[in-house]
Structure 1
Amino acid sequence: MKNLEKSVEDLIEILSSKEQTVSFAESCTGGRIASAFTAVSGSSNILYGSCVTYANKIKEEWLGVPKEILETKGAVSQECVEYMLRGMQKMASSDYTLAVSGIAGPTGGTELKPVGTVYIGLLTPDGNSDIHHCLFKGDRHQVQEQATRFAIELLEKNVK
């Protein structure tokens, strides 16, 4: 398995060479994706910005996630992540956008959405979104780290 820092370095190099940018809308990862990028020199060439939209109110106000989606589907849903992607892209005008929303635990899980349930999405320059429903195992830190890695790998698979 490739080192996360090496993946980020490679992404920065590729996106820089293509003069493309990225932005993030994070919930359960709490800014870890942005942190992984800003830890590497050169990230300022490609990273437009990131929002940690932890509360539903902020998902609604900043990213335009409809209250109805949050009430009927929940913040941890494919539909919410789709709106998070579109809202962040609209705000940042980046080429690629990643969005993550999930339940890191140890509380908050339900029978239908147990702890470790995370939706991770990517919006590409052609306007297509690719959203994945993941179920990660482990404690809070492990779920957050797995979600961060998955998101970065998803971006990596799509920019090459």
Structure 2
Amino acid sequence: MIDGVPDDLEQTLVRDPRETAALLIDRLAELNWTVAVAESLTGGLVVSTLVDVPGASRVLRGGVVAYATDVKNSVLGVDPALLEAHGAVHPRVARQMARGVRDVLGRDGRAADMGIATTGVAGPDEQDGQPVGTVHIAVATPLGTRVDSLVIHGDRDRIRRETAHIALRRALMAL
């Protein structure tokens, strides 16, 4: 069970994440868009799932695993005052990560078209006063940024894998 995810979306999570990634890559290629990924709790699972798809290089610019809080600031440009006030597990942090990775991994002075970001608590302990399973996913495009805040129940592995798959679904839904 995932709090904050509509039932119809939760049912689609039984599909293979690679299928979702393949659909996302095909759609991005149709639009001639690029994608960049910033990950914290997922530790590279989102970008790894994209890389598993043959032809990902058509659209994928790369990924940044900003696991440490200070890396979110120094590499992705997340506001240090925000990190100080709320910690790394916050919807505004996810928003700034998604926007920041578009710029960091852009090309020729042009941002990547889509930025995907994940931050949250996979466990085993709470972080920044947030309970295990708290997740924030952001998808940024030139049309705007959407942030979803969820609670995913389960062990560390399930939380990380479900977060990665939901991030890919949210990115696909943004197109």
Single out whichever of 112-121 and 26-35 deviates more from structure 2: 112-121
Give the Cα–Cα distance (whole angstroms) in 2 for the partners of residues 86 and 17 of structure 1: 22
Give the Cα–Cα distance (whole angstroms) in 2 for the partners of residues 68 and 125 of structure 1: 25
Query: Quick one: which of 104, 109, 124 aligns to 1:106?
Result: 124
Q: Which amino acid aligns with 1:150?
A: I
Q: Which amino acid aligns with 1:140?
A: R
Single out whichever of 53-62 and 82-91 deviates more from structure 2: 82-91
What percent of counterpart residues are identical? 32
Given the alignment of the two structures, is residue 10 of structure 1 paired with residue 26 of structure 2, yes or no? no
Given the alignment of the two structures, is residue 117 of structure 1 paired with residue 134 of structure 2, yes or no? yes
Given the alignment of the two structures, is residue 148 of structure 1 paired with residue 164 of structure 2, yes or no? yes
- With normalisation by structure 1, the TM-score equals 0.93
Instruction: Give the structure 2 partner of residue 83 of structure 1.
Output: 96
- With normalisation by structure 2, the TM-score equals 0.86
Unpaired runs of 5+ residues, structure 1, are: none
1:39-71 Cα offsets, whole Å, 9 max, x none, are 110000000111000001111100111221111
Instruction: Give the structure 2 partner of residue 48 of structure 1.
Output: 61
Single out whichever of 84-93 and 21-30 deviates more from structure 2: 84-93
Given the alignment of the two structures, is residue 35 of structure 1 paired with residue 48 of structure 2, yes or no? yes
Q: Which amino acid aligns with 1:96?
A: M
Q: CA deviation at 1:98?
A: 0.5
Give the Cα–Cα distance (whole angstroms) in 2 for the partners of residues 40 and 85 of structure 1: 22
Instruction: Give the structure 1 partner of residue 5 of structure 2.
Output: none
SS of 2:62's equivalent in the other structure is strand
Give the Cα–Cα distance (whole angstroms) in 2 for the partners of residues 98 and 116 of structure 1: 19
Is the contact between residue 73 and residue 79 of structure 1 (CA under 8 Å) also seen in structure 2? no
Give the Cα–Cα distance (whole angstroms) in 1 for the partners of residues 99 and 25 of structure 2: 22
Single out whichever of 69-78 and 25-34 deviates more from structure 2: 69-78
Give the Cα–Cα distance (whole angstroms) in 2 for the partners of residues 130 and 19 of structure 1: 21
Instruction: Give the structure 1 partner of residue 70 of structure 2.
Output: 57
Is the contact between residue 89 and residue 127 of structure 2 (CA under 8 Å) also seen in structure 1? no
Q: Which amino acid aligns with 1:8?
A: A
Q: CA deviation at 1:109?
A: 4.4
Single out whichever of 100-109 and 37-46 deviates more from structure 2: 100-109
Number of residue pairs aligned between Structure 1 and Structure 2: 157
Give the Cα–Cα distance (whole angstroms) in 2 for the partners of residues 26 and 33 of structure 1: 8
Q: Which amino acid aligns with 1:158?
A: A
Query: Quick one: which of 155, 158, 175 aligns to 1:139?
Result: 155
Q: Which amino acid aligns with 2:121?
A: I
Supply the RMSD in Å over aligned alpha carbons: 1.2
Given the alignment of the two structures, is residue 24 of structure 1 paired with residue 37 of structure 2, yes or no? yes
